């Protein structure tokens, strides 16, 4: 049973346009969400996160939106650059709802973003 779903395995976007990566979750206990970016032959790197008490968090070109009622979050990249081409993982945590001592992340399968020059 996949608790974090990224239904689009791949996405192609023209340079300068907006990239929108989507993520759905099923576990209502999740209260913290993260996006990671991964280049080939490297480990995932943290990109941006959002707590369930917020519906938006912005960091430069990257914005994450959270719709709790729909159990959906999205990552917007504006404007998209060729260097953004990577696999993006959505991850979720239920730490606050699970009490102290639970720091696990549940990951989606990833979306490969290709930004075309």
The residue among 15 and 97 lying less far from another protein, judged by its C-beta, is: 97
DSSP string, 37-96: EE-TTS--EEEEEEETT-SEEEETTEEEEEETTTTEEEEEESS--GGG-EEEEEEEE-HH
Binding region for another protein (CB under 8 A) out of 21-29, 44-52, 54-62, 74-82: 44-52
Exposed, middle or buried by CB within 10 Å (0-12, 13-18, 19+), for 100? Answer: exposed
Rg from Cα positions in the chain:
14
Distance CA 97, CA 9 (A): 30
Q: Is 108 in the site for another protein (CB under 8 A)?
A: yes
Q: Does 44 help bind another protein (rule: CB under 8 A)?
A: yes
CB of 17 to another protein, least distance (A): 26
Q: Does 104 engage in binding with another protein (CB under 8 A)? A: yes
Determine, following the binding rule CB under 8 A, whether residue 52 of this chain makes contact with another protein.
no
Q: Say whether residue 43 binds another protein (CB under 8 A).
A: yes
- Looking at 8, 22, 27, 49, which residue binds another protein (CB under 8 A)? 49
**Judged by CB, which is closer to another protein: 65, or 107?**
107
């Amino acid at each position: 049973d996949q608790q974090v779903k990224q239904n689009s395995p791949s996405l192609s976007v023209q340079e300068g346009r907006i990239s929108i990566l989507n993520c759905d979750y099923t576990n209502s206990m999740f209260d913290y969400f993260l996006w990671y970016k991964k280049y080939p032959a490297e480990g995932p790197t943290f990109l941006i996160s959002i707590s369930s008490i917020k519906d938006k968090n912005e960091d430069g070109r990257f914005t994450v939106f959270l719709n709790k009622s729909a159990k959906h979050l999205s990552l917007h990249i504006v404007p998209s650059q060729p260097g953004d081409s990577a696999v993006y993982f959505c991850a979720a945590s239920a730490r606050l709802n699970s009490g102290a001592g639970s720091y696990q992340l549940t990951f989606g399968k990833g979306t490969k973003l290709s930004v075309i020059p």
